[in-house]
Each structure stands twice: as C-alpha cells, then as structure tokens.
C-alpha cells in the first residue's frame, strides 16, 4: 500500500532522465535488468508467482555472499528474510529493511500496454509494481549488493524482510512480528513501502515524507432486525428507516480532532507551504489543540482529509428480502481509520452511541493493532534528510502519518519503531498510479532511490 501525499518530478530532472536513458553506466544497467525481471514476475494474489521472485532474489543475494537466507512459505505465498551479520563485534542492535514482493492485480485489457511487460518509454519505467513496491524492494537489494562489493563492513546486523502478501492478508509481516521474531528482531525498521517525494508538473517541490505513523484499520457492521410483515400494513418501526437514520447521524458525526508528534511536524511544514484560510487554520490548530473549528477546516481540505482524527464511513449496504414485505434485516458496513494510539474499543462504543439502541454495532474485520506514532529518532531523520538534501538541497522532509495501513503496523505493535523512507520522487498528480492503471516511475527517480538507500545504510550501519 502506498498512501503518502508526497509522491512527484522536477522539469529539470525529467530532461536529465532523457539523456540518461541513452547511456547508462554499468551499475545502472544491472539495476535496470534486475528491475525488469522483478516487474515481469506477476506476483498478484492467487497466481502462485511469489516463489519465483523469491528464487530470483535468493540467487542474487547468494551470488554476493549474502547466504543467510530464510524462505518462509505461508498460505499460497512466501516471505523471505536475509541477514547480513555485522563484520566483527556488533556495536548496535540490528536494523530491519522492509519491502513487499506482491502487487495489486492489473488487467491487460484495462492498461495501455501489458502491465507485466517491463518497458522504458518517455523517461519512465512502466509496469505493475514499478512504484508499489518493486522500486523500493529492488533499491534495498541493489544498495546492499553495492555496499558488499565495495567492501563495506556493517557495524550492526542488517536484516531484510520481503513479504509476499502485503496488499492482501498481511500475514508475512504479522508472522514476522510474532512466529519469526527471532529472525527479524531489530532496534527499528526502515520500510521502503511508504513516503517518497513529490513535485508539481511545473517542477515545484512538494517535499519528501517520512512516515512514522499509520491509522488503524477496523470494520464494523450496523445491524437492525425487525419482525417485518406485509408491506400493505407498514409498522411504525422499520429496519431500513432505522438503519438509514443511524447512518445519517454517522454522516454528520465528527470524532474529536487529535495531534501527535508526527502530525504536528507535518502541519507545521504544511502551514508554511500553504497560504490563505487553510494556512491560518493550521496555525490556529497547532497553537490550540482544542480549536476543533480550525481542525474541521483542515479536515475538509481534500489534501488533508483523514489526517486530523479518526474517520468512519459507510461502505456497503444490504437489507430486505422482497418488494412486498417489510424488511426483517437491514445491515451496513462501516469502515474506520482510527487515529494512532486510540483503542478500537473506544471507537466501537462511540459508534454504538451514535447508532442508538435499536442498532447492533459489531466489529467485523481488523488489521493489526492500534499503534502509537514512532518517535522521530535523530539518527534516522538525519540520515534520510542528508541523503535527500544531497540530491535536492533545501527540500522539505516532513513527518507523515498514513491514513491506510502498511506492513509496519505489526512491528510498531510490538514496540519496534518503523520509518517509511524512500528516495522515490514522482510528479503529482500525474504519476500517482499505485494500485491504478499504467503505473510508472521516472527512470531518474528509480536509480536515485538506490543511491539514497546506499547513503542511508552507510550512515546508519557503518
Ligand atoms: Zn505497497
């Protein structure tokens, strides 16, 4: 899942990438070649192709002497763990590097070209997964290979976790954080599947994100039952009306606005990028956390929606059984994205209160635990900012909270901080195509991401 708002392309960088495509240097040829192979394995749920990617990556790591590899089958997919042990006595706890190998379904008929045939065109690499998350996965592989060949000696273990079902069940990460924890325990994790940078179409920088928090995913059912009867004799109580009234109350309900260290940093940076009423509202809210009127103005902005509080929304509906019968059952599905650290039980209680006593509210689905924002560690923030500034001096690097959930949730849930970091930049909104059609990554951005990972690892593990 990739949900950061920063995802973009400078006009100058686009021009440079055109020249680049003509003459690549040897390391770039190797990275492009691996990326091509990786994108062309269609690791969609149910196709059984993840093991083929695991074999390819196992061979790639092994050829460089990185042979401490565990392949973990689960369900009809696989995850893999690779450890590069510290050379000499470790002077710090391990760090964990995360990516996922699976991709969202892509249909040939819907795309301009075959989503699983890699192509380079117009300064972009095209294909399903080219952004989410095969660019990040390839950058982790290539940066480690380059460091190894360069004689780099890590002072701490570097552990790699590549999961095989992030886009669906999320079992790879869940199992890693529980059953396989001894293989992956780390001081903190860097997740390539979040953040990155953005530029507008005319090259104005939008900044880079640093994901430290994600909202909690919970789904609830609203159920109303009724005796029913003949529709020619309507009763005063009706399951459909009662449910509809509950949903109307939910529509107008606003959860209490909240801030944490991450969103404070985010809105402080955003208030400087914006002008007018929205910037005023951000400043007002930061000055007074209880100014819910200011928070409501921010929440109403499509760019900020979901960032100020818990949000719940009706997503499915069913009810009744015949055109000429009073409904005996009416049911709605309500999906919630809960603010980090808020107990889902509290949200359930609030929903029940909104729905009223005639409506039964129950949790019907969940993903991960409710986790607090990871603290903004100076070493991680510093290494990431330095690597970005080396390429884009003065670029804003802004803490960010994902409104969706990623593999990171399971590690935050056991107290291992997770940082979504990525050197990938996209042109916004043109290139924001993760999970969508004709997914692509600027050629320059793909190669720069490898350099960013190499720099970060030199700093954090050297
Ligand atoms: Zn992803």
pLDDT of 31 > 90? The answer is yes
| Residue 167 CA, ligand 1 centroid: distance in Å | 7
- Report CA(204)–ligand 1 centroid distance (Å): 25
Query: What percent of the chain clears pLDDT 70, i.e. is strictly above it?
Result: 95
- Residue 325, number of CB atoms within 10 A of its CB: 12
Q: Where in the chain is the domain with CATH 3.40.630.10?
A: 11-213+372-461
* Model pLDDT for residues 137-149, shown as the tens digit of each residue: 999 999 999 999 9
For residue 435, how far is its CA from the centre of ligand 1 (angstroms)?
9
List, for residues 269-308, the tens digit of each pLDDT value.
999 989 999 999 999 999 999 999 999 999 999 989 999 9
Confidence of residue 26 (pLDDT cuts 50, 70, 90): confident
453 has pLDDT over 80: yes
CA of 74 to the centre of ligand 1 (A): 19
**What was the pLDDT predicted at 7?**
36
C-alpha 89 to ligand 1 mean position (Å): 35
Residue 130 CA, ligand 1 centroid: distance in Å: 11
Expressed in angstroms and rounded, the spacing between residue 20 Cα and the centre of ligand 1 is 27
Mean pLDDT along residues 175-184: 98
pLDDT band at 439 (very low <50, low <70, confident <90, very high): very high
- CA 328 to ligand 1 centroid distance, Å: 41
Ligand 1 centroid distance, CA of 456 (Å): 21
Q: Which CATH architecture has domain 216-255+310-362?
A: 2-Layer Sandwich (3.30)
Q: What is the mean pLDDT of the chain?
A: 94
- Predicted confidence at residue 25, as pLDDT, reads 83
| Across 101-120, average pLDDT | 97
Average pLDDT of the segment spanning 385-398: 97
pLDDT of amino acid 22: 53
User: Where along the chain do the CATH 3.30.70.360 domains lie?
Assistant: 216-255+310-362
pLDDT tens track for 6-23: 433 333 344 344 444 457
Give me ligand 1 centre to Cα 410, in Å. Answer: 15
Angle in degrees, 0-180, between the axes of helices 134-149 and 443-461, rounded to the nearest 10: 50
Residue 104 CA, ligand 1 centroid: distance in Å: 9
Q: Using one digit for the tens of pLDDT, what is the confidence trace for 34-44?
A: 999 999 999 99
CA of 188 to the centre of ligand 1 (A): 19
Percentage of residues in the chain with pLDDT exceeding 90? 91
pLDDT at 168 over 50: yes
Q: How far is the CA of 100 from the centre of ligand 1 (A)?
A: 7
Write down the CATH number for the domain with range 11-213+372-461.
3.40.630.10
Average pLDDT over residues 255-278: 96
Chain segment 184-206, per-residue pLDDT in tens: 999 999 999 999 999 999 999 99
> Is the per-residue pLDDT at 167 higher than 90?
yes
């Amino acid at each position: 899942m990739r949900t950061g708002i920063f995802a973009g392309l400078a006009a100058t960088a686009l021009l440079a990438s055109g020249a680049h495509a003509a003459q690549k240097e040897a390391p770039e040829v190797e990275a492009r070649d691996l990326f091509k192979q990786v994108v062309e394995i269609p690791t969609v749920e149910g196709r059984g192709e993840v093991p083929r990617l695991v074999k390819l990556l196992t061979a790639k790591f092994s050829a460089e002497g990185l042979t401490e590899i565990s392949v973990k089958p689960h369900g009809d997919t696989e995850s893999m763990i690779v450890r590069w042990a510290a050379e000499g006595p470790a002077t710090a706890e391990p760090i964990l590097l995360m990516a996922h190998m699976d991709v969202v379904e892509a249909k040939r008929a819907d795309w301009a070209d075959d989503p699983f045939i890699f192509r380079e065109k117009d300064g972009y690499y095209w294909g399903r997964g080219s952004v989410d998350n095969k660019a990040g996965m390839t950058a982790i592989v290539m940066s480690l290979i380059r460091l190894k060949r360069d004689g780099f000696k890590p002072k701490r273990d570097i552990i790699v976790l590549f999961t095989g079902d992030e886009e669906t069940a999320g079992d790879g990460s869940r199992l890693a954080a529980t059953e396989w924890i001894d293989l992956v325990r780390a001081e903190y994790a860097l997740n390539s599947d979040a953040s990155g940078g953005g530029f507008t179409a005319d090259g104005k920088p939008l900044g880079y994100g640093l994901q430290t928090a994600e909202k909690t995913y919970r789904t609830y059912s609203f159920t109303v039952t009724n005796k029913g009867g003949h529709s020619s004799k309507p009763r005063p109580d009706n399951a459909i009306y009662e449910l509809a009234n509950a949903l109307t109350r939910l529509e107008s309900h606003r959860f209490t606005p909240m801030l944490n260290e991450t969103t404070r940093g985010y809105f402080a940076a955003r208030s400087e990028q914006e002008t007018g009423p929205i910037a005023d509202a951000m400043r007002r809210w930061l000055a007074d956390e209880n100014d819910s009127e200011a928070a409501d103005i921010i929440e109403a902005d499509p760019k900020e929606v979901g960032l100020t509080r818990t949000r719940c929304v009706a997503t499915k509906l069913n009810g009744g059984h015949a055109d000429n019968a009073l409904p005996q059952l009416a049911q709605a599905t309500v999906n919630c994205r809960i603010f980090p650290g808020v107990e889902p039980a509290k949200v359930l209680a609030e929903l029940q209160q909104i729905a009223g006593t005639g409506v039964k509210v129950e949790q019907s689905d969940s993903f991960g635990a409710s986790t607090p924002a990871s603290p903004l560690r100076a070493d991680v923030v510093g290494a990431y900012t330095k690597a970005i500034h080396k390429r884009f001096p003065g670029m804003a690097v802004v803490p960010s909270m994902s409104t969706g959930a990623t593999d990171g949730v399971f590690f935050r849930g056991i107290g291992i901080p997770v940082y979504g970091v990525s050197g990938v930049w996209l042109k916004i909104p043109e290139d924001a195509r993760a999970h969508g059609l004709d997914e692509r990554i600027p050629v320059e951005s793909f190669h720069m991401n490898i350099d960013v990972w190499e720099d970060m690892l030199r700093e954090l593990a050297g």
